[in-house]
Structure 1
Amino acid sequence: MDQFDLLVVGSGPAGRRGAIQAAKLGKKVLVVEQGKRVGGVSVHTGTIPSKTLRETALNLSGWRERGFYGRAYRVKQEISAEDLRRRLLITLDHEVEVLEHQFARNRVQHIRGKASFVDPQTMQIVKDDGEVVTVSAASILLAVGTKPFRPDYMPFDSRTVLDSDELLDIQDLPRSMVVIGAGVIGIEYATIFSALDTQVTLIDPKSTMLDFIDKEIVEDFIYQLRDRNMKLLLGQKAEKVERQNGKVELTLDNGRRLTTDMVLFAAGRMGATDTLNLAAAGLEADARGRLNVNPETFATKVPHIFAAGDVVGFPSLASTSMEQGRIAARVAVGAIAKEPPKYFPYGIYAVPEISTCGLSEEEVKERHIPYECGIARFRETSRGHIMGLDTGLLKMIFSLKTRRLLGVHIVGEGATELVHIGQAVLNLKGTVEYFVENTFNYPTLAEAYKIAGLDAWNRMGDIKSEI
């Protein structure tokens, strides 16, 4: 039986970052991946594919240029599912090649197969060819990610009723689509297909969406979706879904009926822990298959077993999963693990993008902090005019007492890139004066920071910071 310092189950963002971190500390590391290739959900069905699909859709459809040339403008008149898939495969091949090189360069061993616990120190790996390998490790990191939630009442057929993993393999682009679930995944795919001129209807039992995002940003986002004729049926539930004559019929709880070419069910994900035999290790998952961990060390209740990434729940971001994996690996091998900065950015790759960092206006109110906001619209910037943007909003929230930045929230083109300026100022405890006094490249969308900073400064008055 092989003995390792760290055994990592899963090669997604948390698993690969944890494995490489431990290897750089001179430890003997094994990564087990049950997929056909390394990379996990992030590379093969989640983060990278959905963002590649988004970029391909915007490029081929001419979406970004329609502000100048009209809504009928197209780069490619007839866009097929094969057009989308071609770019996706090139991107995935590159991601896998980079990851395999990183493993080889850092001498991380990896094996394909399904791992399950024999006891708290030992795991059994069933390889694709049926061979069974047993390994033990001083520490174990579970980074198995998630899989789509598939309720029994939904008639999945991988063609007209699909989950978010199956959507990547469709043969034809639908003329109409119903997306069930107004969470991040549902919204991203709904807006991507809307940009491809598919008639999209979004359904969710909740009357609101994206409740963790600043309400003003969500309102602007919803306005943009409705302006391009997306139907939002919030506060309504699909009680019955049936396939009939190549179409899908849905009956909602209010009696309304919908007919569509395709249904995407994107109402939640489950931790992929059901095959791990957690009981043998003294662990158990919650109803959604997730594992409870110490938020500082990512250790489970069994001290030498750690978990990181989507399997531990919110925020379920590739970026935060990487940091969780790195911290867990350092703790697992006895190295000092420095706590990451307080504020991290959250990105939603919808069309348009949304990104946020720090406190929302609702959170500031709940904490009874006296505050002021500054707002800039992308159309106020010269770069916005050059790009043909008539939408896009950047909002910053400042403390009236300390004048420090409390939160930055953006909806519009490039939001997930722009947010990092605000993130840096947040973590460095900067004030409104930073945005007023500093020079930004011209013309850029980053100028919106100066416009929003001046907007807030004018409302706050020229009072020097108390810091």
Structure 2
Amino acid sequence: MEIDHRYDVIVIGTGPGGEGAAMQAVKEGKDVAVVERYMRIGGGCTHWGTIPSKALRYAIFKLTEFNKNPLFRNVTGGLHITFPELRKGASSVIDQQVAMRRGFYDRNGVDVLSGHGRFLDTNTIEVLEENGIRKVCAADAFVIATGSRPFRHPEVDFNHPRVYDSDTILGLNSTPRSITIFGAGVIGCEYASMFRNLGCKVNLVNGRDKLLEFLDDEIIDALSYHLRDRGVIIRHRESLDHVEPLDDGVITHLKSGKKLKTDVLLWAAGRQGNTEDLGLENIDIEPNRRGQIEINEHMQTKHEHIYAVGDVIGVPSLASAAYVQGRFAMNHLISHEPDLSLLKDIPTGIYTSPEISSLGRTERELTEAGIPYEVGQSMFKSLARAQITNTTVGMLKILFHRDTLELLGIHCFGQNASEIIHIGQAIMSQEGSANSLEYFMNTTFNYPTMAEAYRVAALNGYNRLF
């Protein structure tokens, strides 16, 4: 077999996981190439997932904020902007992200191979370009970072113009009056918030007992309350019987006998790893039923020189985690002594309205483990900054050890929760006595700020000890 080019490392996929791996490897002096099957780099995160959905969320938030302001509402009678018009704002952000990330590869001398990558054996891949040209490349190590896509139920007709998944929903050509969202995971809850803020009637169908059961119970309750308070109808413990698409809408038939007719259906029930036609059968790797690849604690597959990172390995399925996993994998390849702290305490960011961010253990987990903990709370309605900005819905919750004051968990619900969490993350990452509730009690925070919530919560919790 004739080899067109040899590299030290080949990364398949240019999303966050692939980028993290490529940049770490090239900084360590490795000759690196990345393979991208689409015309533009960035992966699903940039083009169909995180960036466009969060840009859309921001546009909807600003529209809602404008229309809630009595001054503007009285003058204009309120703005009415359609879903496609709101979606346009994301295109410029995507263009900027693509240009920036392409610059990373160009400046660092990383070859970008455009085409579909496929393993021929454990040290060789072929890259098939759109024009039919085939390149064969070899490497000492590989990183599979092909990401994921929405899981599609085989009995649901996704070709129908009123049936969408979380990728295709961004191409919605009008604002629906009503929507059923089947699947109440992170994506389902985020879109439920967005469509309700647009004034749509929303059915959120959940197969479990609670929303987002991995979160702290108090945060789950707060999310459920505020979604319902906004008018979202949440239906727990439901399963699908069948979907009936019509010319004027979609009827979602549930096994409980309920029939939910809405303008459109958004299917948001899970993700599927992008492992088809990767030639994994040629290297004796078999993905699970959701197309995900099994790895060990070092991000290695069954072959020690072939790593897998990001959504293609499953949970936590976060862009932030994928980037870190890519760096970790290359640290392990190069030094064999990677920094394990890279994979520890990765915060969860959920962009509902309001936002949720969580780090560390929940009350449920600490109780089950028999750990003596205490709770410190700060309600946003009591913070001057929240009152000034009219973002009083929410709270910061700190869980800490009663005896040592060690921080065990931080949970935030409210405006900018995904930013606020990082203050707590910085302290939780410290070793020994530096990871302590006392930091927040004894640190001067700017006033008025949302960061002040840490001092309020710390004092609230410390006072519970006496």
- Partners of 2:231 and 2:160 lie apart in 1 by 27
Residues 4, 436 of structure 1: alpha-carbon distance in 2 compared, 3 angstrom cutoff: same
- What corresponds to 1:36 in structure 2? 39
- Partners of 1:127 and 1:348 lie apart in 2 by 37
- What corresponds to 2:24 in structure 1? 21
Q: Secondary structure at the match of 1:460?
A: coil
- What corresponds to 1:465 in structure 2? none
In 2, are the aligned partners of 1:236 and 1:253 still within 8 Å (CA)? yes
- What corresponds to 1:316 in structure 2? 317
For residues 231-250 of structure 1, the C-alpha deviation after alignment (integer angstroms, 9 at most, x for no partner) is 00011123121112321112
1:444 aligns with 2:438: no
- What corresponds to 1:304 in structure 2? 305
**Mean Cα displacement is larger for which, 253-262 or 152-161?**
152-161
- Partners of 2:120 and 2:308 lie apart in 1 by 18
Deviation at 1:111, TM superposition (A): 1.6
- Partners of 1:426 and 1:335 lie apart in 2 by 26
- What corresponds to 1:115 in structure 2? 117
- Partners of 1:74 and 1:83 lie apart in 2 by 18
- What corresponds to 2:440 in structure 1? 435
- Partners of 2:73 and 2:151 lie apart in 1 by 36
**Mean Cα displacement is larger for which, 446-455 or 172-181?**
446-455
1:340 aligns with 2:341: yes
Match of 1:193 among 192, 195, 203: 195
Residues 72, 312 of structure 1: alpha-carbon distance in 2 compared, 3 angstrom cutoff: farther
For residues 402-431 of structure 1, the C-alpha deviation after alignment (integer angstroms, 9 at most, x for no partner) is 111111101110100000111112111522
Which amino acid in 2 is paired with 1:389?
T
In 2, are the aligned partners of 1:39 and 1:96 still within 8 Å (CA)? yes
**Mean Cα displacement is larger for which, 216-225 or 237-246?**
237-246
- What corresponds to 2:171 in structure 1? 169
- What corresponds to 1:60 in structure 2? 63
1:9 aligns with 2:12: yes
**Mean Cα displacement is larger for which, 117-126 or 324-333?**
324-333
Deviation at 1:279, TM superposition (A): 1.2
- Partners of 2:26 and 2:336 lie apart in 1 by 12
- Partners of 2:327 and 2:200 lie apart in 1 by 41
Aligned identity (percent) is 38
- Partners of 2:19 and 2:336 lie apart in 1 by 18
- Partners of 1:281 and 1:83 lie apart in 2 by 46
Which amino acid in 2 is paired with 1:86?
K
Residues 334, 404 of structure 1: alpha-carbon distance in 2 compared, 3 angstrom cutoff: closer
Q: Secondary structure at the match of 1:325?
A: helix
Deviation at 1:198, TM superposition (A): 1.2
Deviation at 1:356, TM superposition (A): 0.5
Residues 5, 314 of structure 1: alpha-carbon distance in 2 compared, 3 angstrom cutoff: same
In 2, are the aligned partners of 1:66 and 1:73 still within 8 Å (CA)? no
1:459 aligns with 2:458: no
In 2, are the aligned partners of 1:184 and 1:348 still within 8 Å (CA)? yes
- Partners of 2:127 and 2:336 lie apart in 1 by 28
- What corresponds to 2:53 in structure 1? 50
Match of 2:415 among 413, 416, 432: 413
Q: Secondary structure at the match of 1:321?
A: helix
In 1, are the aligned partners of 2:250 and 2:263 still within 8 Å (CA)? yes
Residues 378, 102 of structure 1: alpha-carbon distance in 2 compared, 3 angstrom cutoff: same
- What corresponds to 2:361 in structure 1? 359
Unaligned runs of 5+ in 2: none
- What corresponds to 1:380 in structure 2? 382
- What corresponds to 2:328 in structure 1? 327
- Partners of 1:335 and 1:129 lie apart in 2 by 40
Residues 215, 438 of structure 1: alpha-carbon distance in 2 compared, 3 angstrom cutoff: same
Q: Secondary structure at the match of 1:340?
A: helix
For residues 174-199 of structure 1, the C-alpha deviation after alignment (integer angstroms, 9 at most, x for no partner) is 11111000111111111111111111
- What corresponds to 2:265 in structure 1? 263
Residues 309, 437 of structure 1: alpha-carbon distance in 2 compared, 3 angstrom cutoff: same
TM-score calculated relative to the size of structure 2: 0.95
In 2, are the aligned partners of 1:62 and 1:73 still within 8 Å (CA)? no
Q: Secondary structure at the match of 2:340?
A: coil
Deviation at 1:334, TM superposition (A): 4.8
Which amino acid in 1 is paired with 2:424?
G
- What corresponds to 2:242 in structure 1? 240
- What corresponds to 1:106 in structure 2? 108
- Partners of 1:372 and 1:423 lie apart in 2 by 18
Q: Secondary structure at the match of 2:194?
A: helix
Q: Secondary structure at the match of 2:358?
A: strand
In 1, are the aligned partners of 2:7 and 2:32 still within 8 Å (CA)? yes
1:218 aligns with 2:220: yes
For residues 292-320 of structure 1, the C-alpha deviation after alignment (integer angstroms, 9 at most, x for no partner) is 1112x211111111101111111111111
Residues 435, 138 of structure 1: alpha-carbon distance in 2 compared, 3 angstrom cutoff: same
RMSD: 1.8
In 1, are the aligned partners of 2:354 and 2:393 still within 8 Å (CA)? no
For residues 182-221 of structure 1, the C-alpha deviation after alignment (integer angstroms, 9 at most, x for no partner) is 1111111111111111111100221212111100011011
Q: Secondary structure at the match of 2:357?
A: strand
* Number of residue pairs the alignment of both structures matches: 459
Which amino acid in 2 is paired with 1:313?
G
For residues 23-51 of structure 1, the C-alpha deviation after alignment (integer angstroms, 9 at most, x for no partner) is 11221111001122100011111111111
Residues 75, 51 of structure 1: alpha-carbon distance in 2 compared, 3 angstrom cutoff: farther
Q: Secondary structure at the match of 1:137?
A: strand
Deviation at 1:253, TM superposition (A): 1.4
Which amino acid in 2 is paired with 1:305?
I
- Partners of 2:456 and 2:340 lie apart in 1 by 33
Q: Secondary structure at the match of 2:460?
A: helix
- What corresponds to 1:96 in structure 2? 98
- What corresponds to 1:130 in structure 2? 132
Q: Secondary structure at the match of 1:62?
A: helix
Q: Secondary structure at the match of 2:398?
A: strand
TM-score calculated relative to the size of structure 1: 0.95
